[in-house]
Amino acid sequence: MTNDIPKEIKESVSRRVYAQAHARDWTRLPAAERSLIYDQWVDAPDVGGKLIQYRGTPSRVRHWLKDGPMKEYARAIYGVGTYASYVPDPSAGVVAVIEKALGEGWAPVPGTQRTKPLRITVSSGEEEKNFAWADDSKQLKHLVWAALRAEANGVPNPWILCLVEMFEAPIPAEEKAEHIRIGERAGLLVKHVSLG
């Protein structure tokens, strides 16, 4: 047994689990369902069967799946990170968040996506805005700080900050209201969206 999983095995397994995660709407699944899917992957010849000789035990295969590709899944669906190329359509996640937050007619401007925090320029006709998002409400402070720094340094266009709610952890109404008040205080529009 070796811990070094060959690149072609990592790629094959990552594509397989990402395709299945996408088909099952992974981000909206409760933890119990995810746990069952991990069990299925560990037992599957085209996933666990390919990893077992490198990881040694089923529990180590499961650990690699959780701390490897699936830990990065939330970022990868937005086209970010080393696993983004394994997502069936990495631009779909960004487009879905933008449409949910702003409505139809808004689209990402190619080549403008950045990380830390996730942000992109969006346009509708001649109008452009800076759009930043996170799938954890604790990240709002980072979105606000990025917007304020950009504005202070002369970056044009208004900012929209979007928090994506996860199925298992919806943002309470009182917290959403606080987010909106913080945004108003800073002169920033805060939106909340739930995908699915």
For the stretch 66-76, pLDDT in tens is: 999 998 888 88
Count the Cβ atoms, other than its own, within 10 Å of residue 52. Answer: 16
d(CA 41, CA 109): 37
Query: Over the Cα atoms of the chain, what is R_g?
Result: 19
pLDDT tops 60 at residue 196: no
d(CA 154, CA 157): 9
Res 89: pLDDT: 75
Res 159: pLDDT: 96
For the stretch 19-56, pLDDT in tens is: 999 888 887 788 899 999 999 999 999 999 999 999 99
- Mean pLDDT in residue range 139-152: 95
d(CA 96, CA 82): 21
Please give, one letter per residue, the 3-state secondary structure of the chain. CCCCCCHHHHHHHHHHHHHHHHHCCHHHCCHHHHHHHHHHHHHCCCCHHHHHHHHCCHHHHHHHHHHCCCCCHHHHCCCCCCCHHHCCCHHHHHHHHHHHHHCCCCEECCCCCECCCEEEEEEECCEEEEEEEECCHHHHHHHHHHHHHHHHCCCCCCEEEEEEEECCECCCHHHHHHHHHHHHHHCCEEEEEECC
pLDDT tops 50 at residue 147: yes
pLDDT tops 60 at residue 2: no
- Mean pLDDT in residue range 155-159: 91
For the stretch 8-22, pLDDT in tens is: 999 999 999 999 998
Per-residue pLDDT band at 1 (split at 50, 70, 90):
very low
Per-residue pLDDT band at 3 (split at 50, 70, 90):
low
d(CA 128, CA 157): 6
Mean pLDDT, the chain, whole residue set: 90
